Amino acid sequence: MSEVRRSLPVAQAAPRVRRDAAANADRVLAAAMALVEAGGVDTLTMDRVAAEAGVGKGTVFRAFGNRSGLLAALTDETERDFQRAFLTGPPPLGPGAPPLDRLLAYGEGRLDLQRVHGAIFRAMQGVSIERFGVPARKVSVTHVRMLLRQCGIDDALDVITEAVLGPLDSDTAYHLSVERGLGRERLIADWKTMVRRLVG
């Protein structure tokens, strides 16, 4: 028996094993996604995923290492699916629809994805959204929201406030001015252009 297996050409045996492993990995990822969508990230355990996928627990561990590895693979997989959809999928998300329609479809798709990704990121990193609770940020949000309202914006005020504050976030401002090379003056000028566009 061992002799027979050894006699199999490695070049053909390997793909078979990889195909099986890949098929199992796909089933595990699909099962993990189903669990997360049904009950949230907290319900995702290696045991439950294995049971849901109909594979042994060892298979799940061999394919993904641990729960964090599984969660990371899940975000990679869903991100790749979404990328395929907006780069080459059918309209309105993919090519063929007018650009505004594509943009609106992108945002809707991204927000749907973030419900899953966000929960996974928070589960993996611990809650990292304390910044929204920082008193200084709350003061700024209240201030900018008030000014936007005074400028005549009475719809979508929370979202527009976040859009306006986004490029002012210290990481984003650094990324734009230094890493993307806008520099200080240009960043300020472009931020103002954006605000004037929004206020109309």
Residues in 131-160 at the binding interface with its own copies, rule: CB under 8 A: 131-132, 136, 139-140, 143-144, 147-148, 150-151, 153, 155-156, 158-160
| 170-179 long-range Cβ contacts below 8 angstroms, 24+ apart | none
> Closest by alpha carbon to 158, among 132, 135, 191?
132
Q: Phi/psi class of residue 118: alpha, beta or left (left: φ > 0; alpha: ψ in -120 to 50)?
A: alpha
Task: Output 62 or 131, the one with its CB closest to its own copies.
Answer: 131
Separation of alpha carbons 144 and 161, rounded Å: 6
Q: Would you say 93 and 48 are in contact if contact means Cβ atoms under 8 Å apart?
A: no
| Residue 61 within binding range of its own copies, rule CB under 8 A | no
| Residue 111 within binding range of its own copies, rule CB under 8 A | yes
| Residue 74 within binding range of its own copies, rule CB under 8 A | no
Task: Output 24 or 161, the one with its CB closest to its own copies.
Answer: 161
Only one of the segments 21-29, 42-50, 51-59, 167-175 lies at the binding site for its own copies (rule: CB under 8 A); that segment is 167-175
Separation of alpha carbons 48 and 117, rounded Å: 20
Only one of the segments 8-16, 20-28, 29-37, 94-102 lies at the binding site for its own copies (rule: CB under 8 A); that segment is 94-102
Task: Output 18 or 122, the one with its CB closest to its own copies.
Answer: 122
| Residue 18 within binding range of its own copies, rule CB under 8 A | no
Task: Output 12 or 150, the one with its CB closest to its own copies.
Answer: 150
| Residue 8 within binding range of its own copies, rule CB under 8 A | no
Question: Residue 164 class from Cβ within 10 Å (0-12 exposed, 13-18 middle, 19+ buried)?
Answer: buried
